[in-house]
Amino acid sequence: SKPEADLAKRLYGLKKTHAEVLGAGVTTEFTYDADRFREKFGIKEKFLLYAGRKDVGKNIYTLLSYFQKYREQHKESDMKLVLIGGGEVNVPKEIQDEVIDLGYVDLQDKYDAYAAAEMLCQPSHNESFSIVIMESWLCRRPVLVSDYCAVTKNFAKESNGGLYFKTYYEFEAEVDYILNHPEEAKIMGENGREYVLKNFSWDVFVKKFLNFFETMK
């Protein structure tokens, strides 16, 4: 990602070295079905999705804390938090009925989950190239990321496919915005999808890779 390239240039004196940010190749040819996910797992309510390893390093407990406070501040809301991925997490007893931890799911279920979610939240402060963000965008859903993470924040800004938060109140406002502005949320998801297809589909990535080495002759 560009922020990682900028960091490498500062740390290793690469300012005069010929370099290009290639990103990574992402599988883009898959299908998804929101209704299929809801029917299979019996989830009727709107939900916020977390996908990935559930551990402290991914800032999962900040997400749980913010979600708990959100539900406390919005008594009328029946929104759930759905977790998919490996690892164990201690969910506060006050929201155990509102958090659905599905653990590992197969690829099709994961794609269907993205499509069914109101948004994906990737709260990690130290994320690199985030496949789950790209997959959420490919399923046309917006993302929330940490303002403290240069990489994911840069992706959200470049794509216009998501929002970024630093405090609970920013998180709350952004969740409310996406919930209350479905057309704008749809546009963010479409922006994200276009961004992934334009920059990280395998044919684009391989072309950038080959073109870079052609310039090194």
pLDDT (0 to 100) of residue 59: 95
Widest CA span of the chain, in angstroms?
A: 63
Whether 112 has a pLDDT exceeding 90, the answer reads: yes
Neighbours of 166 (CB within 10 A): 11
Mean residue pLDDT across the chain: 94
pLDDT (0 to 100) of residue 21: 84
Distance CA 192, CA 179 (A): 18
The backbone torsions φ and ψ at residue 103, rounded to the nearest 5 degrees and listed phi first, read: 65, -150
Question: pLDDT tier at 117 (50, 70, 90 boundaries)?
Answer: very high
Neighbours of 152 (CB within 10 A): 28
Whether 184 has a pLDDT exceeding 80, the answer reads: yes
Secondary structure class of 111 (helix, strand, coil):
helix
Q: Residue 29 has which token pair?
A: 């040819």
Query: Residue 215 CA to chain centroid, in angstroms?
Result: 34
pLDDT (0 to 100) of residue 64: 98
Helix-then-strand count for the chain, H and E: 9, 6
What is the per-residue pLDDT across 119-175, written as a single tens digit (0 to 9) for each? 999 999 998 889 999 999 999 999 999 999 999 999 999 999 999 999 999 999 999
What is the per-residue pLDDT across 54-66, written as a single tens digit (0 to 9) for each? 989 999 999 999 9
Residue type present at position 200: F
Q: Are strands 143-146 and 162-165 parallel, antiparallel or unpaired?
A: parallel
Spatial neighbors of 8 by CB under 8 A, at least 6 apart, are: 14
What is the per-residue pLDDT across 88-107, written as a single tens digit (0 to 9) for each? 999 999 999 999 999 999 99
What is the per-residue pLDDT across 72-85, written as a single tens digit (0 to 9) for each? 999 999 999 999 99
Residue type present at position 169: Y
pLDDT (0 to 100) of residue 2: 87
Q: Are 116 and 43 in contact (CB under 8 A)?
A: yes
The backbone torsions φ and ψ at residue 152, rounded to the nearest 5 degrees and listed phi first, read: -70, -35
Q: What is the mean pLDDT of residues 2-22?
A: 82
% the chain with pLDDT above 90: 82
